[in-house]
Structures are given as structure tokens and as C-alpha cells.
Amino acid sequence: MRNHTFIIVSNRLPINVARENGTLVFKPSSGGLATAMSSVGMDQDKMWLGWPGIASDDLTPAEKRRITRELRKYQCAPVFLTQQQVNDYYDGYANATIWPLFHYFQHHAIFNRDQWQAYKQVNQIFQKAVLRYTNPEATIWIHDYHLMLLPRMLKKELHNSSIGFFLHIPFPSYELFRLLPHRADLLKGLLGADLIGFHTYDYARHFSSSVQQVLGYESKMGVVTAGYRAVVTDVFPIGIDYQKFAEALHTPPVKEEMRRLKEHYIGQKLIISVDRLDYSKGIAERLEAFDAFLANHPAYHKKVSLLVIAVPSRTDVDAYRQLRDQIELAVARINGKYATVEWSPISYHFKNLPFEQIVALYAMADVALVTPLRDGMNLVAKEYVASKQQRPGVLILSEMTGAIHELPEAIPVNPHDKPSIAEALARALKLPVAQQKRALLGMQNRISHYSVTRWAHDFMQQLQRASAAAKELRRRTLSGATQQQLFNDYATAHNRLFLLDYDGTLRSYVRSPDAAEARPSPALRRLLARLAADPRNTVCIVSGRDRDTLHTWFGRLPVILIAEHGAWVYRNKQWAKTAASFNEYKHTLWKPLIEYAERTPGATIEEKDFSLVWHYRGVAPELAYVRNTNLKHDLRLLLNGTDIGIYEGNKIIEIKPSSIRKSIKASELIASLQPDFIMCAGDDYTDEDMFSVMPDSAWTIKVGPGASQAKHHINSVDDMITLLNRLA
């Protein structure tokens, strides 16, 4: 079984298993995701894993075997869950904690420890199921908020797999996300993936911001540096099966349904409202807005009808039961208020309609009222537009949906602002047909191109790219045979040179550069002393630190010190200084730096002989972003035409003469010592400069992930120390 090369994982399978009159029935779903998934990985041995929709307590062992057999015909495999697990994990943590919080319904969110335990347990059950079916190098695509812990659980066991995760719901702002007691676990869980996809840029941005603030991991240009792994985040707005809707309009059942609707709503404008019955969809607020519309526009009485389709959903969750009552009361109240013998303004249906009826409704409706309070994307809006091939119509769309970015020709509304929804309705009903058609055409052009299959292909392509980069990083990670080669080279060499950066290479970064933990530990000093004690070794610490600090820390060891990126060199018990000058600029630069620091809690300025450094590790990330951008702009104006450069390192911006570089001093050392073995290790941009001048034979090592000119990578400071210990 462990041979499938492409695995799809979602909470539910695209085939629903149910017991009807005592016998098991299998019903394939025709949803967009099923279509999308069937269009990718066609040349691969594919398997879709998920819950089949029936609790395992209701099944005999023979029935379970039958389900497994039957589902295999559809390239699916069941993940069996008990009723209790479904209650706690699905109705509980997924739908009563994550769903409300991620949709900004904080007051509906329940924080229950047992449900969290169940969520973890079910993610583990999914992990085991995947491990049973997967090839170790497989591509695995995990869907949605039910399985946020799964990427990490899988990556731990399958280092060489490519794991993609797509979140179908919004990722909330940090202010909401931080309320979750298990926020760090969820983020770490997700970061097991190689690629994490979101519907919109805002969701991706919120995710990176939470990762930064909860875990302290940096992200740049859509790449999160999570320990020694680089995780890509990107935006993939999900599409629909556009052709399916456009073509359905020509089929006899849809045509027949359209004819019936036309007859039924003769002389009336038809407004539709289609959603799962969910508080995030704003159905109750929409009804009140319709009430306001009828109150303000009596001329429309008997001339409009609102058809509400509310598809039953999560009926075991309390908030959903209450909402259903609330909606039904509102419908009754509004109908009671305006209905006449021959006209009822709202027709309400709490059920799932067949596809043909939905398409016919979309095609016939004069207005689609799509006003969720929050929606990851919202496919109904896109489906309505796709079904408008022959007849015009107007889409009123909530600004709080992901879809608004791709459907800007719709009439946008704030779903909380009921009077303005009522006005939008009045506007929509009067909109000239030519204008309706123009708006539809614009939207159709866009969504017909980025269909759900394009979406899936796009995701798969980016996943391949992300995991190829991750594989390349692993290939370059110093281990196994390559590491042995390094040991051999070391053993046979007679004149060895070590060029070692300090912060981020020999010592991990800490909150402030002068914190006690930033100092070298006695063990590190002993290690360097041992390494330097070998007469064949020259050990040189090449740092951006000032000379006093380096002198205090390492002055008594038999090592060479290069301070301030090469401005100072300590050799044979003497400090020598560079010819460059910086003093004249210090005065000019101090004032703006101080002013910025005073307005930026957590920022500090470090003064060195040949540079000034802006440290922002302690600054809130979003504030740091704004301040850094402005600061760089101001500094550039001041330094225009000088040889002073602005350099960005790990949570620092350093201002120094561009003629002072680690590479210059490193090259001089190599020229004077003529070593037959060089190890050059570092972690940031100043070390890249050093790597770039190293001879081909040198062992250049970058500590941590990320692009580098170094030939090899090492995962962490700890691994670097282990390597040096083995050499010493």
C-alpha cells in the first residue's frame, strides 16, 4: 500500500458513505474541489484520504472492509473516526473554535481542552493513514483547517516528501489569532509544509505576521525561515469549474427549470440568496437589509421576490441551531409584515438543491445578494457570474469576501451596513442592461481563465518549485559522504585556516547584542582554544562586533580577530586599523537615528568606530517595517554621493564605509598564509561577501537556510559547534 506518489488529504472524501434503509450507499460529490483534484496528478499513482462521512461505531469490520474496497475504485481511502471523535474534532475544535475565530466571530469560539486533544488525536489518525499509503517521496496536498497539525506530523516522518497545504478559510489578523491557547502548535503544524497557500494576499500577510509574533520566525518575500527549513507562502484564489456552469445552461433539465422559474416569477424581479446556513454568511443581516429595502421602497412591493436557499450545515453545533431559528423567525416576521394574499416577499428553503436547479436559479435571478460577514473566497458569487451567459443580472458582493478582489465590477457592500445594502439593491434593480452586461463580461473574462483546474495546477507547480528548493537545500547540507570528505581534507592538510563569523554562526542570536547570553560560553572558548592549539591551524574570528568586545571575549586565545567587518585586525597581540574614515559622518547620522529610536520602542543604536547600527530585534515587526523603510529613505538622502553604504543584516541596519568588507581582510589573510585547507562559515550578508572571494577548494558553509554563495549548508549553530568539535 505504501506506494502512492500523490496523496490528497481532506477532512471529507469526495464520496459520501451513508446507511440508507440498512444498506451502505456511496454518493460521489460533484463539487469544484473534486473536479480540481481529478485534473492534477493524472500521471501519478493517486490516492485521496478522508473521512467517509459515517461514524466507525456504526460499522462492522466486514463493512469497513467493504467501504475500503469500494472507495478504492474512486482512488479514495477511508480514515475511520468514531462518533465521539467526530463530535470533538469536527463539530468541536474545527467548527466551534477555529472556524468562528478565523471568521472573526470571537464570541462563538469555544476553548475546550478535550476538543483540542481530540483535534490532535484525529490529526494523528490522519498521519497514520497517510503513512500507510504514501511513498516516502510522495507529493501530499492537505486541505483546510481541520488538518493544520498534519503537515508537521508528516514532515517528521517523510523528510523527502513534498507537502502542500491550502487554507480554504481566511487567516485572521494576529489580534484574533493570538486568542487561541494553542496558537503556537497550529503554526508549527502548518510550517511542516513546503508550501502554504491562501486565497488572498491579506490572509498570507496575516499568517506571516502571526508566525513572526508567535514563533519569532522571519519571513521575506513569501518565504518563512522556520528553523533550518524554508517554507513558501503564496496566494492562489480558488476558481470554479466555469465551463460546467456555462455549458449546463444548454442542457434540457436546466432549460426546463429556467422555464418554470420564469413562469413562476412572472412580472417580478428575482433576487437570490444561496449559502450554507452559517453565521459567517450574514443571512440574518441580509434579511434585515431586505426588510429595510421593502420599507424604503414600497413601489417594489409585489414586484420583487427574495428566494433564500440555506443549505443545512453543521447542524450538531449549537450556534448553527440557534442561527436557523433566528433566520426562520426573521423570514416569518418580514413576510408577516409585507405579504398580501397573492405575494410573499421571501421564499425560504432549508435544503440542498440539485445542481440543475441551482444553475437555473443563477441564470434567472436579476440580482444575487452575496453578503457574507466574512468569507475565505465565496464561490456562489463566481458561479452566479458564470451562469449569466444569456440573461443579464447584477451581483451585489460583500467587501469581506476573498472574491471581491477578482470581482471588482460587482456592487460592493459593507455587510454590516444594512441601509447601504438596501440602497445597493435599489440601484441593482434599476441598473441599465448595457451596464449589467459590461460588468458581467469583465468578471467572466477573469474567472473563466483562472478556473478551479488552473488553480490546482498552479498550486502543484509552485509546490514542485518549493520542494525542489527544499531538496536543493538538503542536498547542500553538510552530512554523510560530503562531511567525511571534509574530515579527510582536514586530516591531510598542514596549513589550515578557519574564517568564522561569530553571531549566528558560533552563537545564536539573542534579543539584544549586549545581552549576557550573547557572550561566548566557556565551552565555546575551550573549543576555539583547542582548535587553535594545533600548530597546523590558524583560527580567525571575522565579526561585525567592535574591537573591545572581541578583545574581551577572545583576546587571550591564540586566534586572529577581525572586528567591525574588517575595520580592525588583531594579530600578534596588536590591533591595526583600516585607512577608511567614518567620523565625519557620525555626527550627521546620529541625530536622525536618535530621533527614530525615541519613537520606536525596542530599537537601539550601537556605535562602533567605523559604523552605526540600528538594531530592531526588540521592535514589533509591523512597526519595524514602517520605521526601517522610512529610516533607509532618510539615510539615503543624507548619504547620497558618499562612499557610506546602508546594509541590512539579521534584524539590523548597519551604516558603514563600503570599502570596509570582511572579504578584503579574508583575502589578505589567505594571500599571506597560503593555506591548503580553508573553512569559511557564516550566516548573513557580510559573510556572503566573504564566500564570494573564497578559492574553489575552500569549504564555505552557510549556517541556516536561504540562498547563499556558500557551497554547503549547516542547519544550526548547534550543528556548527558539533562539526568544529569533531575537527578539534
- By CB under 6 A, residue 324 contacts ligand GDG: no
Q: b vs e for 121-149, b when ≥16 Cβ sit within 10 Å of the residue's Cβ?
A: ebbebbbebbeebbbeebbbbbbbbbbbb
Give the binding-site size for ligand GDG (rule: CB under 6 A).
Answer: 19
What is the closest distance, in whole angstroms, from the C-beta atom of residue 105 to ligand GDG in the complex? Answer: 13
State the nearest-atom distance from the C-beta of 352 to ligand GDG, in Å: 4
| Shortest spacing between CB 17 and ligand GDG, in angstroms | 19
Note the helical H segments in 39-89.
61-72, 83-85
463 CB neighbour count, 10 Å cutoff: 25
Q: Among 291, 383, 501, 683, which residue sits at the site for ligand GDG (rule: CB under 6 A)?
A: 383
| Cβ nearer to ligand GDG, comparing 249 with 380 | 380
Binding of residue 246 to ligand GDG (CB under 6 A): no
Specify whether 501 is catalytic. yes
Which of 379, 396, 439, 440 binds ligand GDG (CB under 6 A)? It is 379
Between 309 and 635, name the residue whose CB sits nearer to ligand GDG.
Answer: 309
Q: Which is nearer to ligand GDG, 11 or 611 (CB)?
A: 11
CA dihedral 381, 384, 386, 392 (to 10 degrees): -120
The closest alpha carbon to 248, from 456, 390, 453, belongs to: 390
**Which member of 132, 276, 405, 526 binds ligand GDG (CB under 6 A)?**
276
Should residue 380 be labelled a site residue for ligand GDG when binding is judged by CB under 6 A?
Answer: yes
DSSP string, 151-183: HHHHHHH-TTSEEEEE--SPPPPHHHHTT-TTH
Determine, following the binding rule CB under 6 A, whether residue 355 of this chain makes contact with ligand GDG: yes
CA distance linking residue 542 with residue 503, whole number of Å = 10
DSSP summary character for residue 520: P
Q: Closest approach of Cβ 376 to ligand GDG, in Å? A: 3
Q: Are 171 and 207 a contacting pair, CB within 8 Å?
A: yes
Is residue 274 a contact point for ligand GDG (CB under 6 A)?
yes
Residue from 110, 131, 215, 353 binding ligand GDG (CB under 6 A): 353
Torsion sign across C-alpha atoms 127, 132, 137, 141: negative
8 near ligand GDG, judged by CB under 6 A? no
Query: Helices in 10-139 by DSSP H: which ranges?
Result: 32-38, 61-72, 83-85, 99-102, 113-133
**DSSP assignment letter at 129:** H
Among 76, 122, 147, 238, binds ligand GDG (CB under 6 A): 238
Q: How far is the CB of 263 from ligand GDG (least distance, A)?
A: 21
Q: Which member of 277, 309, 360, 422 binds ligand GDG (CB under 6 A)?
A: 309
The pattern of x and - marking residues 111 through 150 that bind ligand GDG according to CB under 6 A reads: ----------------------------------------
How would you class 434 by CB atoms within 10 Å of its CB: exposed for 0-12, middle for 13-18, buried for 19 or more? Answer: exposed
Q: Beta 134-143 vs 644-649: how paired, if at all?
A: unpaired
Decide: 274 and 369 in contact? Cβ < 8 Å: no
Q: How far is the CB of 311 from ligand GDG (least distance, A)?
A: 4
Verify binding: residue 369, ligand GDG, rule CB under 6 A. Answer: no
Q: Which CB, 78 or 170, lies closer to ligand GDG? A: 170
58 Cβ contact partners less than 8 Å away, ≥ 6 residues apart: 19, 83
Rounded least distance, CB 70 to ligand GDG, Å: 23
Q: Which stretch binds ligand GDG (CB under 6 A): 352-360, 413-421, 433-441, 507-515?
A: 352-360
- Which one of the spans 296-304, 378-386, 585-593, 612-620 is the region binding ligand GDG (CB under 6 A)? 378-386
Nearest distance from residue 387's CB to ligand GDG, in Å?
A: 10
Distance CA(139)–CA(45), nearest Å, equals: 10
The one among 234, 375, 683, 684 contacting ligand GDG by CB under 6 A: 375
Overall size of the chain counted in residues: 728
Q: How far is the CB of 294 from ligand GDG (least distance, A)?
A: 25
447 binds ligand GDG (CB under 6 A): no
Q: Which is nearer to ligand GDG, 376 or 544 (CB)?
A: 376
Of 241, 501, 683, 684, the catalytic one is: 501
Q: How far apart are CA 242 and CA 91, in angstroms?
A: 32
Long-range contacts of 333-342 (CB under 8 A, 24+ apart): 334/287, 334/290, 334/291, 334/294, 337/291, 337/294, 338/294, 338/301, 340/301, 340/302, 342/302
Question: CB-wise, 238 or 550, nearer to ligand GDG?
Answer: 238
Q: Which stretch in 348-356, 430-438, 443-451, 603-611 sits in contact with ligand GDG by CB under 6 A? A: 348-356
Closest CA to 398 of 372, 367, 365: 372
CB count within 10 Å of CB 603 equals 21
Sign of CA dihedral 91, 97, 98, 100: positive
State which of positions 157-176 bind ligand GDG (CB under 6 A): 168-169
- Residue 253 has φ and ψ, to the nearest 5°, of -65, -35
Q: Which three cell numbers stand for residue 611?
A: 559604523
For ligand GDG, the closer of residues 140 and 377 by Cβ is 377
Per CB under 6 A, 311 contacts ligand GDG: yes
Q: Which residues carry out catalysis?
A: 501
Binding site for ligand GDG (CB under 6 A): 32, 168-169, 238, 274, 276, 309, 311, 352-353, 355, 358, 375-380, 383
